[in-house]
Amino acid sequence: MSESRPSNTHENEVELAFSTKEIIEKLHLYQINPKRVFSTLSVDTERLSALQSNFDGDTFLYNLCEAIKYWPTQNDAETFTNGINDLAYLWLNAFDNDARTDTILNILSCFKLNKLFGFRQSPKFHLFIHNLVLETLGKYHQITLDYALNFEKNVQLPNTNQLIPNLEAALNQTKDGQITALFLLDFQTENNNFLLPHSVSQILNKQLAEILKNNINDNAQLYFGGDSQFEILMSQVKNTTQLDLFAAKLSRAFEDMIFINKQSILVKPLIGCAHTKNYALNAEDLYQNANLALEHAITKQQLHVTYNRELEQAIDDRIILESKVLDAFDSNNMTLNFQPIVDLKTSKCVGAELLLRWSDKFGHHIAPNIAIEVLNNVGKGKLFTRWLINSACRYAYELTEEHQLDVYLTLNLRAEDLYDTELPSLFSNALSLWKLDPKKIILEITEDGILEDNDHTNSVINALSSLGFKFALDDFGTGFSSLTRLKTLPIDLIKIDQTFVKNISHSKDDYEIVQSIALLAKGLGKQVLAEGVEDKECLALIKKLQVDKCQGYYFAKALPYESFIEWVRAH
């Protein structure tokens, strides 16, 4: 019995066909003379018509009845086999559309053989035809199961289960001078911080698949690797330059917005590539290497990464770093330091920015942004934010109540935090726990965090503002804030990035940039803080501009808690 895989254009469509030899063997098995069947098989039309009258609303069962009604009285082996295969196609369609097996068998029992050849021949033939039905249904179930396991219906693409054997076959067929390559793609939305609804995700996957189908070469095979993930197998490639050009082509294909249900979504494909010129001995090696390249692309947010052995060492180093960071976080070995903020009118310390500090057991200092990036990558970002909130509120309480210091603390929020609808309640609970005035905490957000005007970020920011928190916009001038967003959001303080501040005594351009930002902030009714004040000359120029506060090494580096208390009392 030959079989074809389910069609890609119709859900679970399966074709099964018997050969003439198979049909004759099965007839013999039931002790039925094939020649007699070919020449004497007829139909009980009266019974068939009675059954058919019940199927006026069921096209599939009705068509099966019609095919039997017009069964030819004279057949040879080939036409008989073709007729049986046509019936099999019809009863599988009926079954696929929820027809009962016993109903199908009842219809097929309308076949009869001439009594001259023995009264037991018709029942034998019924057993024969019923066996064919059960056999085809069994094959149907197996093929549809294979289809479900190996094919993604929504995007009309084979999945990773088919990729692996096809990858092995492609490697075996790779000739000298040719390259076989594997691309793994992970699509990230413009802001990857909240999950798309399932219905939107399904439509997005379908559109991504269509764009990819229109942009792959003839020597490429496309596979679905999971939600927003695709795989491309390329064979008969002449050189690695072709692979780089292909990756660039894929990136360009997704430069435009994708529109779903009146919602615009901007996606970018992060691509990991591995090929047979880079130490891949078999399909498993190639797939693993491509995975490592994709993992590196995601971690570093690089559009295209091709595997090499140095990359593997970098990944090993990152795994070691992740282990150290996680151990430090879980063991509560991370600390917060305090960088003083000075009011330029009074020259007194009015607050401090909380900065993460951590060194490994060998005393090697790990940059805060690296530690935070690692925590985000391993899924500890939310836990870190919760630890940060509680620590900030505890320190603010102790500074105010126990040490009687009139200072506030600024706390940096990640862009991802603004998509966390639980964040306002976490702050509310911390305020209640420490009986803290929210004015003692200023929340710093970056330009990237407010770039996108959407209900998620707006609702979180407004809820925090309703609790009494003030906001500072950190590193202003390095991102792409719109004036409209600045005007509508509850931003009280704009922090000018140290990139522009620390060299203003030597750079006219930097001076003018700082002056312009200060004037803009004042025009919007915001206070201004200059970061990176490192010498007297810089401080003198900052005082001439409309800047309210500053921080930097000229005053103090970030200090441990006890040292900060002493510094504030001295200043």
Single-letter code of the amino acid located at 151: F
Q: Is 233 inside any structural domain?
A: yes
Q: Are residues 250 and 327 in the same domain?
A: no
Q: Is 36 inside any structural domain?
A: yes
Q: Give Cβ neighbours of residue 9 (< 8 Å, ≥ 6 apart).
A: 156
Question: What integer pLDDT is reported at residue 12 of this predicted model?
Answer: 45
Q: Is 88 inside any structural domain?
A: yes
CATH of the domain at 385: 3.20.20.450
Question: What integer pLDDT is reported at residue 246 of this predicted model?
Answer: 92
Give me the domain span that covers residue 266. Answer: 157-307
Q: Are residues 91 and 219 in the same domain?
A: no
Q: Are residues 429 and 492 in the same domain?
A: yes
Question: What integer pLDDT is reported at residue 451 of this predicted model?
Answer: 54
Q: Is 315 inside any structural domain?
A: no
Q: Is 128 inside any structural domain?
A: yes
How confident is the chain (571 residues) per 10-residue block, as mean pLDDT? 40 67 91 85 90 87 92 87 92 89 92 66 87 89 81 89 90 86 90 65 91 91 92 91 92 90 85 84 87 88 87 78 81 89 95 87 74 82 90 96 96 86 94 95 81 72 94 72 68 90 90 91 90 93 92 94 95 82
Q: Are residues 118 and 91 in the same domain?
A: yes
Q: Is 434 inside any structural domain?
A: yes
The last residue of one of the domains, among 263, 283, 307, is: 307
Helix and strand numbers (H, E) in the chain are: 22, 21
Q: Are residues 58 and 146 in the same domain?
A: yes
Question: What integer pLDDT is reported at residue 360 of this predicted model?
Answer: 67
Q: How far is residue 425's CA from residue 429's CA, in Å, rounded to a whole number?
A: 6
Query: Residue 269: beta bridge partners?
Result: 187
Strands (E), 414-459: 441-446
CATH of the domain at 199: 3.30.70.270
Phi, then psi, of 80 in degrees rounded to 5 = -65, -45
Question: What integer pLDDT is reported at residue 362 of this predicted model?
Answer: 67
Q: Are residues 336 and 410 in the same domain?
A: yes
Alpha helices, H only, 155-282: 160-173, 198-213, 240-252
Question: What integer pLDDT is reported at residue 124 of this predicted model?
Answer: 87
pTM, 2 dp: 0.58
| Count: domains in the chain | 3
Q: Distance between the two ends of the chain, CA-based, in angstroms?
A: 91
Provide the token pair at 292: 């490592």
Q: Give Cβ neighbours of residue 568 (< 8 Å, ≥ 6 apart).
A: 340, 349, 405, 407
Q: Are residues 265 and 403 in the same domain?
A: no
User: How does strand 441-446 pair with strand 408-412?
Assistant: parallel
